Each structure stands twice: as C-alpha cells, then as structure tokens.
Amino acid sequence: MDTLSDTLSRIVSIALLGAVTGALASLAAIGFVELIAALNDWLFISPRSRFMVDNARWLVVATVGVPAAGGLIVGIIHRYNPDRRSHGPPDIIQAVQGLEPRIPLRSGFLSAMASMVSLGAGASVGQYGPLTHLGATLGSLVAGCARNTRWMVTVGVGCGVAAAISTAFNAPIAGIVFAHEVILRHYSLRAFAPITVAATVGYVLANMVFERPPLFRLETVDASSAPEFVGFVAIGVCGALVAVVYMRAILCSARLARKVPVPDFLKPMLAGAALGLAALWIPDVLGLGKETLRFAVIDQAFGAGELLVLVVAKILATAMCLGFGFAGGVFSPALLIGVLFGALAGNGAEVILGELHSEIAVYAICGMVAVTSAVIGAPLTTILIVFELTRNYDLATAAMVSVVFSNLVSYRIFGRSLFDVQLRMRGFDLADGRHKAILDQRLVEDYVSLDYTALSPDAPLDEAKSRLLEADRHEGYVVDANGIYLGTVTLAELELSPAGDARGPKVTVGQLARPEPLILTAKTTVWHAMEQMGDFVGESIPVLEAGGDGRLLGVVFEATVVKAYLDTTNRIRKEENAGG
C-alpha cells in the first residue's frame, strides 16, 4: 500500500507541477506582453499612439526621451542584480545543463522588471527571452515548493519555459519542443508529461480564455512550385549569413560598450537616446516592430531598397541596445530581421525566376525562420511555430527547407546558437557535450587532499625513507620553509641513492627531488585534469596554488578525479534516462 500511495503521490505531484507552473508562467507571460503593449501606447512607442500625437515637436521629444529614460531605469535596476546584468535563456541553459537548475528568484524578477522597462520604453530587444526566463523562474519556484529535488526543479524550469513559449506563440507543440531542444537538450518520458501539461495549460489560457491574437495572420498561401524549393535552400544559406552577422554584431557591440569610458549604469541611457534619434528617421527600429513584421508578409508593402535599409538598421539597433545593457531577448528582433530579409529575397527571386508562383509571404516566412532558428539554435521549434501559427502544411514544408540549411551553415561558421556561444565565452562550453561543460566548471581545488608526506629539502635521505615507510607511501613532496613545492622523491629513488654512505658529502632529499611531470594548480578544471592524467603514473598529483609562487596546496589522487568524472556522468545519465 505504501508503494501504491507513494506512486500515486508522485504522479499527482508531477502533474500538478506541470499544471500550476503552466498556469503561472502563462498568466505571467500574458501580463508581461499586455503591460508592454500598454506601456508602448502610453509612452508613444506604438505606431498607433504616435499617430495620435498632433504635436510634431512633442513627438520628437518623446521619441528620444522615452528610450533614454527607460535606459536609465534599466541601468539602475541592474545595479541591484547580483551580477549587474539581466538574465535570459543562456542562464537557464547553464543552470539546467550544469546540474544546478534552481533559478535565483531575485535575479529572475529583477531581470523581468528590467526587460519590461526596456521593451516598454521601445528598446530594440526581444520579449521572448525575458518571457522564457520569467517562466523558468516561476517553474523553479513552484518545483522548489513542491519537492526540492534537482530533477523536480529541472522539470519545473522546463514546464515554465514550455508554457511561456506556448502562450507567446499560441503554439503548444513548439513550446514542448523548445523546452527539450534548447533547455533540457535530452528527451525523457517522465519530463515530457509535465512539460506537455504546462504547454497545454498555457495554450488554453492564451487561446481560449484570453483569446490572445497570433503573432501574425496570413491570408491563404498557395503551395509552392518545385523550382522555388531551390530558392528556399538559398534563403536558408543566406539567412544563416544574416543571422551570423546579427549575432556577431551583438557580441561586438558588447565588447565596444566595455571600452566606452562611461559608468555602466548610464550606458543603456546612451543607447536609448541614440536609438530615439535613429527612430526619427526610421521609426521601424523602435520597439518590437510588430507592424513592420505584419507589413513584410504583404506584397508591395516595401521596395527592395527599403527592405535592405531596414534589415541593416534593425541589426545595428538591436546590437547597440543589447550590447549597451538594455535587458531583453534576441528572438523578436531576429524574427523581424528575418522576415524583412525573406521579403528582400522574395524580391530577388522575382527578378531571377520571373513571375513567382508563391506569394511574397512564403519567402518572408522562410527568411524569418532561417534567421531565427540559427540564432536560437532550435530548428524543430521554429518549424513548429510556423506550422502551428499558420496551420499550413505547404508553408511549413518550405520553411523546413530553409531552417535546416540555415542551421547547417551557421553551425559551421558560428556555433549552435548565440546562447551557446555566449555561454562558451563565459567558460561553459556545451559543444563537446554536457559532461565536459560541467567538469569544466569543477575545479581541482575541491578535491585536494592533505593526505601526503611533506619533506623539508635538507632532510637526510634516511629520515625521508623512514617517514615514507612509516606512512606507507611511495612518494614524498619536498617543500621549503615557505611551503613552496620543490619536487617529489619516491621511495625507490631513496633506496637506490647512495645516501647511506657516511663518508661522502651528505645528500639531502632536496638534491634528489624532481618536479613531477604532471603538476596541477587549484584552478585547473576537473576536465582538464582528466585530459592530462592520460599518461600519468604515480600515486598522487601535486596541486599548487593558482597564480602564486608555487606553494603546495595538497595532492589529488587519480582515483578521486576519475570518481568525480564518473559521478557527473552518472548524474547526467540518471537525469536523462530515469529521473530521480
């Protein structure tokens, strides 16, 4: 009976985790999006509210002033965030992949607030990154309240992310897939169930209770003709290049921002003012650009030159805003850049192929998914978003072609996604697998043992030998009065050396000591130690203080390092296969 009730309570708690997280994350997402829309209306960011302003001078003041003021507030909020920046999808990935899945509440909510202000004030940043992070924070919170195990929290985070995406795009399947493809990066049946519950709750709330409008609406789109598929491949390849330029621009801008001699908290304000000035000429760079996105799927809405200018302007604006410290995602701007690029490609195709069989919308959508899937590294999710938004099989098929070619190219020349590259720059490299990333985070100093025999350099060999025999060790570490490591002597060397000859000059261990071929420092990662240990034969490895003058901290045993490696891979296997 015990086991039955135990099983039941587990099933109920996991289903509840999905439902409660799904509802909370979805409501938060709806509230977030609504509040941004309201702020955009109040602050003269949305085209409609700008259109209603009668006074041209006032509009200029608002256009420059609002993003600048928003930037200042964001800068101030960041001062209260533990690492002085806002968190987003890369932080969720790192938390989940690094086996410490709990999302800190403080940075979670401060990041949401900073993103809200950024987006509300019209910064050219995305809203989906903040939404997923907010969902993940709530999921982590709910799971922590239910049963605070690592596996539960991981699933809770996945649920929050899935519900947020499902709500934001009215696309439940895409939400489920996104949580697996980008965040969890593995598939386990036990995690799938609660995540599906969460995504469905999000979809029901968004679609049936609050009747949220979709991201874009398409009139019926005709099926594409065979030769056009070549065009969709080309869009995929070129879209990857656009995505790489976009991602590099973001990274570049962050480097540039670090060199600007202005206090960090004032940097977003500078970017806001610059963005406002640009918006006086190109209002499309302001905010999420929903209207621009909707125009891009309409034939004749843009000229080719205009499209090119907008693609470049939006890349620059987004790179500047993100690099200079506005809080927000990279996905929404990528959607807009991609859709404009796709429309541009459609114009190009018209020149090459003559009269197009497909409408411009098909090309625009292909461009959109090509760019976004390369940026977020989620081919399946983007294909599903198109499919669920449009319910159009032909369109999803065309989009699929562009997506896979885009990922193929961008993976080769940039990396799996912007998130992964940002994580790699922080030293968390998932490119060679999760176990490497985790072991790369663990340092040898955590495994240091003081279980060794230290010998003074001027100790006679006899004394050294007897001390080693006494401690039943084969190796002794020669350390001077300041604790500096000088070398190692082995029992065998002591035995063979002619130290027992009292007539000759007195030989000390200091003369005999040889530095070990493998010496680690405290900051060596476990992964690095593993790699170096390949040829090591010996009892233990000396560990020195990092960056110091060579003071001996202790030793690590080969077995300890191997055990750390095995423990990590076991934990990963357990989580990915069975759960705990």
Partner 1 sequence: MREDRGSHEATNIWSGILNVRSSIRCVGLCIALCGLAGPAAGDASDEQGRTITVATWGGPYERSQVKAYFEPFTKATDIRVRTVRYEGGLSELRQQLGTGEITWDVVDMTMADNRAACRQGLLEPIDHAILLPGTDGVPADEDFLDGALTECGVSQIVYAMVTAFNRDAFPGERPARIEDIFDVKRFPGKRALQKAPAANLEWALVSYGVPREDLYELLSTERGLRLAFRKLDRIRDHVIWWTSIDEPVDLLVSGKVAIASQFNGRLFDAAVVHGHPIEIIWDAQLYEFGTWGVTRGSPRRKEALEFIRFATGTGPLADQAGYISYGPTRHSSTRLVSTHAEIGVDMRPHLPTSSANFRTAILKDTEWYASLHDRIVARFDAWLGQSETNHTDQATTDAVAEGQDDRSD
Residues that bind partner 1 (CB under 8 A): 46-48, 50-52, 54, 213, 217-219, 283, 290-291, 294-295, 298-302
In contact, 122 and 317? CB cutoff 8 Å: no
Neighbours of 106 (CB within 10 A): 11
DSSP 506: P
CA distance 96 to 55: 51
CA dihedral 254, 255, 256, 261 (to 10 degrees): 100
Nearer to partner 1, 212 or 474 (CB): 212
Closest approach of partner 1 to the CB of residue 286, in Å: 11
Tokens coding 281: 């000429």
Whether 508 and 457 have beta carbons less than 8 Å apart is answered as yes
Which residues have CB under 8 Å from 301's CB, separation 6+? 295, 343
Tokens of 224: 């594409």
Residue with tokens 């990528």: 334
Nearest distance from C-beta of residue 358 to partner 1, angstroms: 14
18 CB-contact burial (10 Å; exposed 0-12 / middle 13-18 / buried 19+): buried
Q: Please say which residue, 290 or 442, places its beta carbon nearer to partner 1.
A: 290
Task: Provide the Cα torsion 37, 41, 44, 47; round to 10°.
Answer: 80
Nearer to partner 1, 47 or 65 (CB): 47
Tell me the C-alpha to C-alpha distance, in Å, between residue 447 and each of 278, 472, 560, 571: 54, 21, 7, 18
Task: Find the shortest distance in angstroms from Cβ 198 to partner 1.
Answer: 27
Residue owning tokens 């594409």: 224
Q: Which two tokens stand for residue 562?
A: 């191997």
Of residues 302 and 565, the one with the C-beta less far from partner 1: 302
- CB of residue 291 vs partner 1: minimum separation in angstroms? 5
Residue 224 per-residue DSSP state: P
Residue 272 · residue 326 · CB < 8 Å = yes
The sign of the dihedral angle between the CA atoms of 62, 63, 64, 70 is positive
Sign for the CA dihedral angle at 198, 200, 203, 207 comes to negative
d(CA 541, CA 485): 12
| Contact call for residues 136 and 161 (beta carbons, < 8 A) | yes
Phi and psi, residue 315, nearest 5°: -60, -50
Q: Return d(Cα 415, Cα 417) in angstroms, integer.
A: 6
Task: Give the residues across from 104 on adjacent strands.
Answer: none
- For the chain, how long is the longest CA-to-CA vector? 107
Q: At 542, is the secondary structure helix, strand, or coil?
A: strand
**Minimum CB distance to partner 1, residue 242 (Å):** 22
Q: How far apart are CA 340 and CA 338, in angstroms?
A: 5
**Residue for token digits 């690095």?**
528
Specify the DSSP element, H or E, that contains 385: helix 379-390
Q: Which residues of 477-503 are buried (b: 16+ CB within 10 A; e: fewer)?
A: bbbeeeebbbbbbbbebbeebebeeee
Q: Which is nearer to partner 1, 299 or 531 (CB)?
A: 299
How far is residue 237 from each of residues 99, 522, 551, measured CA to CA in Å? Answer: 35, 45, 54
Rounded to whole angstroms, the Cα distance separating 324 from 320 reads: 6
Q: Could you tell me the two tokens for 310?
A: 């907008």
